[in-house]
Amino acid sequence: MHPLDVVKTRFQIQRGKTDPTSYKSLGDSFRTIFRTEGLFGFYKGILPPIMAETPKRAVKTFAVAGLGSGLTEAVVVNPFEVVKVSLQANRNAFTEQPSTFVQARRIITTEGLGFRGLNKGLTATLGRHGVFNMVYFGFYFNVKNIIPVNEEPTLEFLRKFGIGLVSGTIASIINIPFDVAKSRIQGPQPEPGEIKYRTCFKTMATVYKEEGFLALYKGLVPKIMRLGPGGAVMLLVYEYAYAWLQENW
C-alpha cells in the first residue's frame, strides 16, 4: 500500500495549480513518478513506517482504544513520519536520494530533535492519529454489534470486512485536514530558510485561505484507497487471530 502513501504525500505538499511540480490527476502522478523516478520511486520513505510498525501496533493493541491510543501512537511514530515525508518529497531518482539513516542523521544534525527537527508536526500527527482512531474503532465496534452475526463463514468474513472498510474510509475523510497540515509542516517549505507552515491549525488556516477548502482534502483518494482496505485487513487479522488464540491457547 506504500505507493499510495507516496502519491498522497505528493498531492498534499503541492501548493495549487501554479506549483510547477503539481500532478494533473491520480493517473498522471503514477505515470510521472514511474517515468522520472523509476519503480522504486514509489517506495521512497518505506523504511520509517516499517521500523515504526511494531511499536505502533503494540501501542494500538494495549493502550486504551480510540482517542487515547491514537495520541499515544502519534508520539511514537512522529519522528518516523518526519523522515518518511522528507524522503517522499524528494523527486530525484531512487538511486540518487539519501538513505533513511542518512536523512534522519541530516535532520537531527541540521534541525535537532525538537519541534523544528525530528519532532516537527507533532500536534498535526496527534490530531491525525487521535481523530482517526477515535472514529475508526468507535464506528467499527459499535456497528459490528448492531449488524447481526452471520452463521455462514464467508458472509461473516464479508460483514467484518465491509464494516472495517467503511470505518477506515470514514475515519480517513474526517482526519485528512490534519494529514494535509502534517505533510505541509514536515515537507519542504515554499521558500528555503523561511518556515511558512509551523503549527497545525495555523497551517490549516493558511491552506484554506490561499488554496480553498478542497485543498484540505488533497490526497484523499489515495488515502482512502490505502486506509479503507488497510483498515479492514488490520481488524480482520485482529479478529481472527484473537479468536484462534482463544480457541487454541
Q: What is the mean pLDDT of residues 152-168?
A: 93
Closest C-alpha to 42, from 60, 55, 30: 30
Query: Which residues in 67-96 are b (16+ Cβ under 10 Å) and which e?
Result: bebbbbbbebbbbbbbbbbbbbbbeeebee
Q: What percent of the chain has pLDDT over 70?
A: 94
Q: How far apart are CA 81 and CA 107, in angstroms?
A: 12
pLDDT at position 62, please? 41
Closest C-alpha to 215, from 248, 247, 184, 194: 184
pLDDT of 87 higher than 90: yes
Confidence of residue 82 (pLDDT cuts 50, 70, 90): very high
Are the C-beta atoms of 45 and 84 separated by less than 8 Å? yes
Q: How far apart are CA 86 and CA 104, in angstroms?
A: 9
Are the C-beta atoms of 34 and 41 separated by less than 8 Å? yes
Q: In terms of residues, how long is the chain?
A: 249
pLDDT at position 179, please? 97
Q: What is the mean pLDDT of residues 137-149?
A: 86
pLDDT of 205 higher than 90: yes
Are the C-beta atoms of 216 and 204 separated by less than 8 Å? yes
- For the entire predicted model, the pTM comes to 0.79
Is 208 strand, coil or helix?
helix
Confidence of residue 57 (pLDDT cuts 50, 70, 90): low
pLDDT of 222 higher than 60: yes
pLDDT at position 65, please? 57
Are the C-beta atoms of 186 and 197 separated by less than 8 Å? no
pLDDT of 215 higher than 80: yes
Q: What is the mean pLDDT of residues 77-81?
A: 93
pLDDT at position 172, please? 95
Cell numbers given for 164: 472495517
Q: How far apart are CA 159 and CA 180, in angstroms?
A: 31
pLDDT at position 68, please? 72
Residue type, 100: T
CB-CB neighbours of 232 under 10 Å: 21
pLDDT at position 61, please? 47
The backbone torsions φ and ψ at residue 149, rounded to the nearest 5 degrees and listed phi first, read -70, 140
CA angle 127, 73, 182 (to 5 degrees): 40
Residue type, 232: A
For 163-187, write each residue's pLDDT tens digit.
Answer: 999 999 999 999 999 999 999 999 9
The mean of the pLDDT values for the chain is 89
pLDDT at position 231, please? 87
